[in-house]
Chain A
């Protein structure tokens, strides 16, 4: 798989994961593009292993965001994502519904302990496998499963008024 194919597969997941974990949409887009440009520069050193590429992309993006936050010192959980920032987003039902849901979910994610939030968002939004998350976070696969499970339990409590089960 070449870089362009990796981009098509990973860029949507990475963009949404970044937004779900604190970046604005514009920041997320900048980070995604910068991440893949860096990956392109590293192309000769990459092995053709999809799992490895996926983990590497998320690691580069995470580090870029840390650097951005350190430089700007203004990273916070965003509950103000303007709909126009979303470009040609395909909303859940209507633009206001999708925006409302993102705000609610971002607020709910912010209430989770960081390690639960990371495991859940990588799993659900980053669409990473348990094995990839284990490699990414440095904990056992079993512990990753426990963290996702606990995150889901807490989110269901927090979002009880939305009647999610």
Chain B
């Protein structure tokens, strides 16, 4: 596959070339942009910031599902004694 990029002197870019086989053709700029999006998406996901704002059904927020019961059972430590509140 060969792609030729030309400019007409006014900032416009022309592209010509031939392609054999089946596939997606991306310019270097498109590839860079796409890669940037992928990097940013994964970084946001790692930070928990790629948050869809779809409605979450209340049933999905139950504290009494298996996970919730497990967490509640594990974190059942007693509090410290109440301090003396004196004036």
Give chain A's interface residues, CB within 8 Å of chain B.
3-4, 7-8, 11-12, 14-17, 19-20, 25, 28-30, 32-33, 36-37, 40, 86-92, 98, 101-102, 105, 112-116, 123-125, 127, 130, 142-143, 145-150, 152, 155-156, 159, 162-165
B contact residues around A123 at 8 Å (CB): 61, 63
B contact residues around A20 at 8 Å (CB): 71, 75
> Majority SS of interface residues in chain B?
loop
B contact residues around A159 at 8 Å (CB): 67, 70
Within 8 A of A (CB), among B40-77: 46-49, 51-56, 60-61, 63, 65-68, 70-77
Asked, given contacts A91-B76, A98-B74, A105-B71, whether A115 binds B48 with beta carbons under 8 Å apart, the answer is yes
Closest to A14 in B: B79
Interchain CB contact under 8 A, A101 and B48: no
Interchain CB contact under 8 A, B79 and A101: no
A contact residues around B47 at 8 Å (CB): 113, 115
Shortest Cβ gap from B85 to chain A (Å):
5
A contact residues around B48 at 8 Å (CB): 112-116, 147, 150
Closest to B48 in A: A113
> Majority SS of interface residues in chain A?
helix
Interchain CB contact under 8 A, A162 and B80: no
Known pairs A105-B70, A124-B63 / 4 extra A-B pairs, C-beta < 8 Å? A29-B80, A101-B74, A150-B51, A164-B67
Give how many B residues have a beta carbon under 8 Å from the other chain's beta carbons: 31
- Cα–Cα distance between A15 and B80 once the two chains are bound (Å): 8
Residue in contact with A125 in the complex, picked from B46, B67, B71, CB distance below 8 Å: B71
Number of A-B contacts (CB under 8 A): 126
Shortest Cβ gap from A12 to chain B (Å):
5
Interchain CB contact under 8 A, A25 and B77: yes
In the A-B complex, the 9 residue pairs with the closest CB atoms: A113-B48, A11-B79, A29-B80, A101-B74, A92-B73, A16-B75, A145-B56, A164-B67, A15-B79
Asked, given contacts A152-B60, A165-B65, whether A102 binds B74 with beta carbons under 8 Å apart, the answer is yes
A contact residues around B68 at 8 Å (CB): 124
Shortest Cβ gap from B42 to chain A (Å):
12
